[in-house]
Amino acid sequence: MTSSPTSTIEPPLKGIRVVELTHTILGPSCGMILADLGAEVIKVEPVDGDRTRKLRGFGAGFFGYFNRNKKSLALDADAPEGRAVLVKLLESADVLIENFAPGSMAKRKLGPAHLEKINPRLVYCSLKGFLPGPYEKRPALDEVVQMMGGLAYMTGPSGRPLRAGTSVVDIMGGIFGAFGTVLALKQRDRTGKGGLVESALFESVVFLMGQHLAITAMNGGAAPPPMPERVSSWAVYEIFNTADGQQVFIGITSDSQWKRFCEVFGQQELAADPRLATNNQRIEARPWLVPAVAEVFKRHDRAALEQLCLDADISFAPVARPQELFDHPHLLANGSLAPTTLPGGVQTRLPLLPFQMMGWRPPLVSDPPEIGQHNDEVLAALGYDAAGIGKLKAGKMLGPA
């Protein structure tokens, strides 16, 4: 299935060839972004397919989401005949993305120094756990760096560190890898030479922690407690229960919003209370104010409460579950969910990149590929004739097409 962009703008990375040697989320998310922006991304998989295809549990959606708009070449790149194909492909590429263990590409003579000799224009995007330094050879996972970087501590209640509910650091590392790659391509336009781009999980989570580092410095070294402790900058910034047994988040973040809340919800007594005149006063009053406001909100079901909050122009959000996004009216109206066929034929709708540029929204051009779906197409573009492709197939250098 495909979705059409809302503008006739030419995709900004059209004509850029990317070779992706990646797995799981960090590397594939980087490749997906470049593919969405118009690059030809050729995912080189083992002959039996990327191992992520076979994951179950929380990993069951990894391949289907992070590999749209790509071509699949299933290749035994460790055999001499398969390696020759890979080298030829890299000679023709603008970008290589890899997120294998530190040192593994160099051992295979596919590190930056090796590939610079065969393609000096190549932008080499290496995605790892850590940027260069004492930890650079350590293995890492999204959850590892969430613990190491303080995100898990800030997410869970005191004494109960908790990883975020999605692979936020893997995805952020992929975003910064794609960002660095686009900048390196721009630099290559000036100099004619490629070079190494590095993005890492640990430094990505530390970047996310910057606001907490700043507040610690401003507070003379007193660190903020985890988010569930709700040391809030605003008096009303909570999850509340509704009359129909649902949960909603409501934030009242200014004095003018407080006045509108009191007016729309008929809370003249709270409006007249001198102890609640300013946000800082209301923060002091939180121990008794939040329960009082909770009682006001609990008189209404979710739909009525949402309308009242809209009338008062205060922030409101139901506490939704991921599956509710499939039918979200805003996403359906603006085309943010693209109809997608996952490997195996499952039909669904999945999110596009969350931005528009000059009226253009990066579209779904092709569904995530089957193993080796583009073997013949990619090899023919490299100059292999039918006999050459047949020989590679006979030697079991290629996976199923």
Tell me the per-residue pLDDT of 39-71, one tens digit each, with 9 for 90 and over: 999 999 999 999 999 999 999 999 999 999 999
In this prediction, what percent of the chain has a pLDDT beyond 90?
Answer: 95
Average pLDDT (354-362) is 95
Question: How many whole angstroms separate alpha carbon 72 and alpha carbon 74?
Answer: 6
According to CATH, what is the number of the domain 17-209+335-394?
3.40.50.10540
- C-alpha pair distances (Å), 49 with each of 75, 217, 312, 316: 9, 48, 54, 44
Nearest to 38 by CA among 76, 9, 79: 9
**How confident is the prediction for the chain on average, in pLDDT?**
95
Task: Flag whether pLDDT at 6 surpasses 70.
Answer: no
Residue the block writes with tokens 């660095």: 180
Task: Flag whether pLDDT at 195 surpasses 80.
Answer: yes
170, 189, 244, 313: the catalytic one is 170
Q: List CB contacts of 398: < 8 A, sequence separation 6 or more.
A: 47, 74, 75, 76, 372, 375, 389, 392
Tell me the per-residue pLDDT of 223-266, one tens digit each, with 9 for 90 and over: 999 999 877 789 999 999 999 999 999 999 999 999 999 999 99
| Model confidence band, residue 397 (pLDDT cutoffs 50, 70, 90) | very high
- C-alpha pair distances (Å), 255 with each of 283, 294, 306: 12, 19, 20
Say what the pLDDT of residue 230 is. Answer: 76
Domain 232-321 coded CATH 3.30.1540.10: yes
- C-alpha pair distances (Å), 28 with each of 5, 66, 113, 221, 243: 22, 6, 23, 39, 44
Q: Is 170 a catalytic residue?
A: yes
Question: How many whole angstroms separate alpha carbon 86 and alpha carbon 263?
Answer: 68
Tell me the per-residue pLDDT of 316-344, one tens digit each, with 9 for 90 and over: 999 999 999 999 999 999 999 999 999 88
Task: Flag whether pLDDT at 355 surpasses 60.
Answer: yes
Tell me the per-residue pLDDT of 138-163, one tens digit each, with 9 for 90 and over: 999 999 999 999 999 999 999 999 99
Q: Give residue limits of the domains in the chain.
A: 17-209+335-394, 232-321
Structure tokens at 186: 């721009």
Average pLDDT (345-371) is 96
| Model confidence band, residue 401 (pLDDT cutoffs 50, 70, 90) | low
| Model confidence band, residue 7 (pLDDT cutoffs 50, 70, 90) | low
Say what the pLDDT of residue 232 is. Answer: 76
Residue the block writes with tokens 């890898």: 177
Say what the pLDDT of residue 233 is. Answer: 83
Task: Flag whether pLDDT at 210 surpasses 60.
Answer: yes
pTM of the model as a whole: 0.94
Say what the pLDDT of residue 204 is. Answer: 98
Question: How many whole angstroms separate alpha carbon 146 and alpha carbon 63?
Answer: 22
Say what the pLDDT of residue 4 is. Answer: 45
Task: Flag whether pLDDT at 1 surpasses 70.
Answer: no
Question: How many whole angstroms separate alpha carbon 59 and alpha carbon 167?
Answer: 10
Sheet holding 236-241, edge to edge: 236-241, 247-252, 315-318
